[in-house]
Structure 1
Amino acid sequence: MANNKIPDWVTAELFEDVLKTDIEGYSKVKNFKAEIGSAAGENYATIMLRIHVEVELKDGKFKKVSFMMKLPHQLEILQEMTKKNNMFDMERSMYLQYVPEMEALYKAAGLEITFGAKSYDLKNAKSDYVALEDLGMRGFKNANRLEGLDQTHTERVLLKLAQWHAASAVRVATKGPYPEDLIIGFFKDDNRPMMTEMTRSLGEKFLKCCATYEGNEAYIEKVKELQPVIMDKMFEMAKVDPTEFNVLNHGDSWSNNIMFQYDAFGKIKEVYMVDYQLPKYGTVAQDLQYFLLSSTKFEDKLSKFDYYIKRYHSYLVEHLKILKYSKPIPSLRDIHLSLFKHGSFGFSVATGVMAGVLLDPTEKASFENFVGDTEAGVDFQMQLYSGPRYRRHIEGVMPWLLNRGALESN
């Protein structure tokens, strides 16, 4: 391995076919550089590379292009997890098959809607990979995860999620069910022991910190009762209930997996979702709670939650109608009922991804420390739940979850 994490087979030759196809007048590669593309704490499960290429054209001019490349982590537990769940095959099939299918549904209805970056096939890759255009070249960037998304950003993301959900539901109505791996997602029986152990370990640290949160007396006993059964509840949520409105969830819809493009006046022009590694067919309650609880700003997170669900629902209805959805359109009440029914997933989000989103940048932020029982791991896990920013959010979220019945263990 060169540069600690960059494999020596990631070379200019690997991208030659893509460059020949994509760049008019391509002659040869003048310069090629691969570098680590994300900082600690910005991406846990994979290695992200940014590939910089300077190309010489046939007319003697030069052009700079850039790609993003996702590779498996070198950590054994993560390699095993990504292999067992076909996470790279899954993401590549999302980019190469399902995303284009959803976009084609809109095109047929007279709307140009794009859901993500352009994806590439690399013939001689020596490991699992996902290769994508570098959206940064078109001015796309993440919002500030620590501040959280304001109302304008949140509504634009909800519009994109509603468009995606609508298309994914229409696809089932017209083409039939998704394959089993998209229906089960990450909730496979052979993942259960690892997920249970990880949840138990993090749950212990959360309970320790929870005892120091202001107002914890109202809910800490409920949290203790929930700990042994929370994984059962997650697997219960993962079962598809045919009486609910079901969609293909993005599955990992937090702020770093959402890219914004702005115009010259700073207005949002476009929103793309990235990182389609964990798609899961089922209740919309998954994506909605995951996104709204993990990634919105503190002032809006709870006070505007119901308003945001109403906005999402209006976008959803509009796009189901555009795509001529042939089944009953869910009511706003149906969406709220799903959210209440799967409320314990909100607790899982608040004690899981929300903690990672709100953590100050630190070199200790790694998957090893997220799951490890080393001194560094325990220290990192305690840091997740004890920082002032997380404490502020969780002290608001826990009473809200309690009042919605989301902390019931039965």
Structure 2
Amino acid sequence: MATSKIPDWITAELFEDVLKANVEGYSKVKTFKADIGSAAGENYATIMLRVNIDVELQDGKTKPVSYMVKLPHQLEVYQEMMKRTNIFDIERSMYNEVVPEMAALYKEVGVDITFGAKSYDLKNAKTDYVALEDLGIKGFKNANRLEGLDQTHTERVLLKLAQWHAASAVRVATKGPYPDVLVQGFFKEDTRPMITEMMKGMGANFVKSCVTYEGYEIFIDKVKALQPVFVDKLFEFAKVDPTEFNVLNHGDSWSNNIMFQYDAFGKIKEVYMVDYQIPKYGTVAQDLLYFLLSSTKLEDKLTKFDYYIKVYHEYLVEHLKILKYSKPIPSLRDIHLALFKYGFFGYSVVTGVMAAVLLDPTDSASFENFMGDTEAGVDFQMQLYNSPRYRKHIQAIMPWLLNRGSLDI
């Protein structure tokens, strides 16, 4: 990943319009430099570049500016996926239409909420891309994914998710449904073969690893029985039940897609979500299980789970009321019922994204190894499921999922 070259069309000229529109007193570009912007294992789905530009202003002073640019991998397996679901088109429309619409709903009731980075259009881009402000300049950073989020960080993220979910529910209640691409998300019939292929390898490697976990005897039979129906169950989970409370899920709410800004005393000032590539309209259970099981610290993950749902629910109710939601507001019990009903999704989180979150930084962490059945791919997947850190989490979580009925077919 780190060796991939910077495409030669990423030049100063490409940014000229953006600079003219956004840098006051812009005169010209003095220096331009593009670097790989994320380490192996910190970002699987795209190539991240950080672009640093020194701008000369009309008064002769120099001003440094920087942007993040996301590009697609040039791998064949990736191109295949892109044909079936263009995550770049989706993310650009999220930044250009969906996110501003949510902020506007709050503005109408006099509340100022920002959900994420500003995005920019690059007129002469040669491939799919997403161009964003570099949040690092404003002091935003990720929390430590290996340690997991503590209670203070978790509650702030739940507030942001609740604000986001509330706005999306109000949007649908007032303006009608989101377009199909957001209702289906990643779970479209034409991505089924790809998901099936990926899950086959990972599923088999998880079963292999499973028998080495302490106490595996109580859940191994259920895990084996889930393998052949795993993808069917995922697609079943993805169907929207109109009788339930539904929202636009962020869809990929793990710790690296959440950025925190702190004040001088180390207190959290602001939280932004990034990476709007796989949003999905449907049950709130998706974002809640994804975030709480993948990204909170081990000591809290299960002991505070119900408490965190209560915190989320209080924020959700508050913001639905602020936005004058016209439909029945879900009770705390409704949210818990959804988490039980869609508990299987929790199993897909802990055998998928959670393993990546807990993996020590390694150069073998790449999109192709995640997807692949090559020797390197199998090695990488075994590494995911066998690190001492992952082992601690999964040994605690599997009995919990079992006892909630989440592993039942």
Per-residue deviation at 1:249? 0.3
Q: Specify the SS of the correspondent of 2:212.
A: coil
What is the Cα-based RMSD across aligned positions, in Å?
A: 0.9
Large movers: runs of 4+ above 4 Å:
none
Q: Match of 2:317?
A: 317
SS at match of 2:28: strand
Query: How is 1:329-408 mapped onto 2 (pairs within 5 angstroms)?
Result: 329-408=329-408
Which residue identity does 1:169 align to in structure 2? A
Q: Is the 8 A contact 2:240 2:281 kept in 1?
A: yes
Q: Quick one: which amino acid aligns to residue 312 of structure 1? A: Y
| 1:47 alignment counterpart | 47
Whole-angstrom distance in 2 between the partners of 1:212 and 1:253:
29
- TM superposition shift of 1:77: 1.0
Deviates more, 1:390-399 or 1:78-87: 78-87
- Residue 86 of structure 2 corresponds to which residue in structure 1? 86
Alpha-carbon offset, residue 6 of structure 1: 1.0
1:124 partner amino acid: N
Partner of 1:27: 27
1:105/1:167 contact within 8 Å kept: yes
**Structure 2 CA distance for partners of 1:3 and 1:149, relative to 1, 3 Å:** closer
Q: Which amino acid aligns with 1:18?
A: V
Contact 2:103 2:115 in 1 (8 A): yes
In 1: Cα distance, 2:155 partner to 2:80 partner: 37
Equivalent pair of 2:143/2:259 in contact (CA under 8 Å):
yes
- The answer to whether structure 1 residue 10 and structure 2 residue 5 are counterparts is no
Report the counterpart of residue 268 of structure 2 in structure 1.
Answer: 268
Q: Post-superposition shift, 1:190?
A: 1.1
1:245-275 Cα deviation digits (max 9, x unpaired): 0000000000000000000000000000000
1:5, CA displacement in angstroms? 2.6
1:282 counterpart = 2:282: yes
Cα deviation, residue 377, structure 1: 1.1
Range that drifts further, 14-23 or 365-374: 365-374
SS in 1 for 2:383: helix
What SS does the aligned partner of 2:272 have?
A: strand
Q: Secondary structure at the match of 2:60?
A: coil
Deviations 1:301-328 (A, max 9, x none): 0000000000000000000000000000
Task: Give the SS at the match of 2:40.
Answer: coil
SS state of the match for residue 55, structure 1?
strand
Do the aligned residues in 1 keep the contact of 2:286 with 2:345 (CA within 8 Å)?
yes
Question: What's 1:118 paired with?
Answer: 118
- For 2:400 and 2:266, the matched residues in 1 are separated by 34
Cα distance in 1 for residues equivalent to 2:231 and 2:328: 32
Read off the aligned partner of 1:9 and give its amino acid letter.
W
Task: Tell me the secondary structure at the aligned position of residue 178 of structure 2.
Answer: coil
Does the 8 A contact of 1:160 with 1:271 survive in 2? yes
1:227 is matched with which residue? 227
Map of 1:100 onto structure 2: 100
In 1, Cα distance between equivalents of 2:339 and 2:82: 29
Contact 2:81 2:194 in 1 (8 A): no
Residue in structure 2 matched with residue 59 of structure 1 by the alignment:
59
Q: Shift of the alpha carbon at 1:360?
A: 0.4
What do the CA deviations read for 1:190-229 (whole angstroms, capped 9, x no partner)? 1111111211110111111110100111100010011111
Cα distance in 1 for partners of 2:104, 2:161 equals 16
Find the counterpart in structure 1 of residue 136 from structure 2: 136
Given the two structures, how large is their TM-score scaled by the length of structure 1?
0.99
Distance 1:387 1:3, change over 3 A: closer
* Number of the residue aligned with 1:37: 37
Q: Paired residue for 2:198?
A: 198
- Find the residue that maps to 2:66 and give its secondary structure: strand
Of 256-265 and 81-90, more deviation after overlay is shown by: 81-90
In structure 2, how many angstroms separate the alpha carbons of the residues matched to 1:247 and 1:81? 25
Distance in 1 between the 2:240 and 2:50 partners? 38
**2:224 counterpart of 1:218:** no
Contact 1:237 1:342 in 2 (8 A): yes
Aligned to 1:301: 301
What SS does structure 1 have at the residue aligned with 2:373?
A: coil
**Percent of residue pairs bearing the same amino acid type:** 79
Distance, in Å, in 1 between the alignment partners of 2:384 and 2:315 is 34
- Equivalent-residue separation in structure 1 for 2:218 and 2:69 (angstroms): 47
**Alignment match, 1:165:** 165
Q: Secondary structure at the match of 1:11?
A: coil
Shift in Å at residue 3 of structure 1?
Answer: 6.9
- Amino acid aligned to 1:235: F
The 8 Å contact of residues 230 and 344 in structure 1, kept in 2 or not, is answered as no
* 1:83 Cα offset (Å): 3.1
Letter in 2 for 1:213: Y
**Which residue in 2 is equivalent to 1:291?**
291
Q: Extract unaligned runs of 5+ from structure 1.
A: none
C-alpha separation between the residues in 1 aligned to 2:379 and 2:23?
Answer: 49
More deviation, 190-199/24-33? 190-199
CA distance in 2 between counterparts of 1:61 and 1:83 reads: 46
- The more displaced of 59-68 and 193-202 is 193-202
| In 2, Cα distance between equivalents of 1:187 and 1:3 | 32
